[in-house]
Amino acid sequence: MPHIVFEKKDLISTPSSKDGVDFQFIAQSYDFTKSNRKIEYRVATKYNNKEFLLTIKPKDENLMIKSDKVTRLSPVSLIKDSLNAYVKENSSRIIFSNTNSFKAEKEQKHKYLKDINYFVDEFETNKEIQIEIGFGSGRHLLHQAKSNPNIQFIGLEIHYPSIEQLLKQLEIQNITNVLVINYDARLFMEFIESNKVGKIFVHFPVPWDKKPHRRIYSNEFVNEAFRVLKVGGTLELRTDSRNYFDFCLELLTNLPKGKINIDINKDLEVSSKYEDRWKKQGKNIYDLTLTSLNEDKAIDLSFDFSFENSINLKDIISKIPEKAIIVNNYFVHIEELYTILGKENSGLIKVTMGNFDRPITKYILIQEGKASYYQGNPLPTSSNIDAHKNLKEILFK
């Protein structure tokens, strides 16, 4: 991680600029838990039209500057140039630095690899969507995409080497109807419009016999799958694990929706690596297909994450809970507070919140009584929305 240790001096004054890097303000930590934490600073920085924070903290009798983990952006040259610019502006003697070995990093993003913001803000298709969860080697997904050029496929994986392998194959085989995302499938469906999906394939998911909470299938997942499936659309589980099959069957039977179909040792047109392995071992392969029979309500991804105006930071400080607030499907934990130097009623609140499986950490910037999320709003997932409402309730009411 790029950082510079430099001789302690007064902080630079802000706003100021050096080598094209703007330093907008500096905020100092405020020990609201009264636990004698060492003072740290966050430097609000703007460079190449991107805003992020740098951290300054004591290092022995000197100071160290590095990027703030939560707001860090790529490429790393953004950070290295900003660290160099700060220390130069401060005219400080450098004790240690690893910010000069910069090799031009070419960020080659594949055109079919998308991030979650793309699915929230831009994704639109008139085609039927089909989704494969945990595509692994990608054999099944590639086969489906080649056989159904009029369908828009989305492949979800959390294992990056599998993603790279699939992207390579898309290029080699000139397949253009697959979008790929590195995202936890249990949380992805929230961003897909209702009644758009023809099929969701879940082939040989990890059974997680000892940690069932990590399984793809859960009440929430099946309900979301139902919502995105169009009438006649199917959620298709294929597994060698009798345990997992029984667990999913019970889940589906308890939901009074859809039609269930069961098969054993059915042959598909394409067999995955895992499937080959299990077949060689003489294991049974179970298929559990759920067909959606009803139209579902549309969802609204345009939740308003704004805060009320005329906020009083002193008031907020007195209301910060020392412990995390935990509610059924979400939590809110205020971790740190910073006050902006030289500015009345202005600060940064660092909060971790949302879903337990995919928490987010954000800064809330308060400037002259107005609050907003630094670097933009959280994703509009149901748990982020609930956490935001709760946060407003605790701090801003």
Round to whole Å and give the CA distance between 272 and 277. 9
* Residue 380: cis peptide before it, omega within 30 degrees of 0: no
Q: What is the DSSP string of 41-65?
A: EEEEEEETTEEEEEEEEEETTEEEE
Task: Indicate whether 206 belongs to the interface with ligand SAM (CB under 6 A).
Answer: yes
Binder among 32, 274, 303, 373 for ligand SAM (CB under 6 A): 274
> Pick from 28, 33, 62, 137: which binds ligand SAM (CB under 6 A)?
137
CA 334 remoteness from chain centre:
19
- If the CB atoms of residues 279 and 333 are measured against ligand SAM, the closer one turns out to be 279
In whole angstroms, how close is the CB of 175 to ligand SAM at the nearest point?
A: 17
Q: DSSP states of 318-357 as a string?
A: HH--SS-EEETTEEEEEEEEEEETT-TT-EEEEEEEE-SS
Q: Is 158 in the site for ligand SAM (CB under 6 A)?
A: yes
132 assigned to a ligand binding site:
yes
Is residue 225 involved in binding ligand SAM (CB under 6 A)? Answer: no
**Residue 130 DSSP class:** E
Q: Which stretch binds ligand SAM (CB under 6 A): 11-19, 100-108, 255-263, 271-279?
A: 271-279
Q: Does 199 bind ligand SAM (CB under 6 A)?
A: no
As measured in angstroms, the least distance from the Cβ of 329 to ligand SAM is: 17
Which of the ranges 52-60, 95-103, 131-139, 310-318 carries the binding residues for ligand SAM, by CB under 6 A?
131-139
Alpha helices in 181-287 (DSSP H): 185-188, 219-228, 242-254, 273-280
State the nearest-atom distance from the C-beta of 136 to ligand SAM, in Å: 2
Taking CB under 6 A as the rule, does residue 136 contact ligand SAM?
A: yes
Q: How far is the CB of 274 from ligand SAM (least distance, A)?
A: 4
- Residue 136, classed as helix, strand or coil, is coil
Query: Which tokens sit at 87?
Result: 């220390």
User: 276 a known binding residue?
Assistant: no
**Nearest alpha-carbon partner for 303 in 192, 226, 388:** 388
Residue 30 or 201: the one with the smaller Cβ distance to ligand SAM is 201
Q: Is there a binding annotation on residue 210?
A: yes
Closer to ligand SAM at the Cβ: 211 or 297?
211
Does 184 contact ligand SAM by CB under 6 A? yes
Number of residues that bind ligand SAM (CB under 6 A): 21
66, 186, 199, 362: residue in contact with ligand SAM (rule CB under 6 A): 186
Do 373 and 363 contact (CB within 8 A), yes or no?
yes
Please choose, from the candidates 131, 115, 220, the residue with its C-alpha nearest in 3D space to the C-alpha of residue 178: 131
Q: Which is nearer to ligand SAM, 134 or 198 (CB)?
A: 134
The reply on whether position 135 binds ligand SAM by CB under 6 A is: yes
DSSP string, 265-327: SPPPSS--HHHHHHHHTT---EEEEEE--S--------------SS--HHHHHHH--SS-EEE
Distance set, CA 388 to CA 366, 368, 377 (Å): 15, 21, 10
Q: Is the dihedral of CA 243, 246, 249, 250 positive or negative?
A: negative
DSSP letters for 70-100: TT--SSHHHHHHHHHHHHHHTTPPEEEE--S
- In the complex, minimum distance from the CB of residue 299 to ligand SAM, in angstroms, rounded to a whole number: 20
By beta-carbon proximity to ligand SAM, the closer residue of 139 and 362 is 139
| Smallest distance, ligand SAM to C-beta of residue 91, A | 50
204 near ligand SAM, rule: CB under 6 A: yes
Exactly one of 272, 289, 339, 383 binds ligand SAM (CB under 6 A); which one? 272
Q: Does 233 bind ligand SAM (CB under 6 A)?
A: no
Pairing of strands 128-133, 286-291: unpaired
**How far apart (Å, rounded) are the C-alpha atoms in residues 42 and 25?**
8
Which residue ranges make up the annotated binding site for substrate? Answer: 210, 240
Instruction: Kindly list the residues in this chain that would bind ligand SAM in the complex (CB under 6 A).
Output: 133-137, 156-159, 162, 184-186, 203-206, 216, 272-274
Which residue ranges make up the annotated binding site? Answer: 132, 157, 184, 210, 240
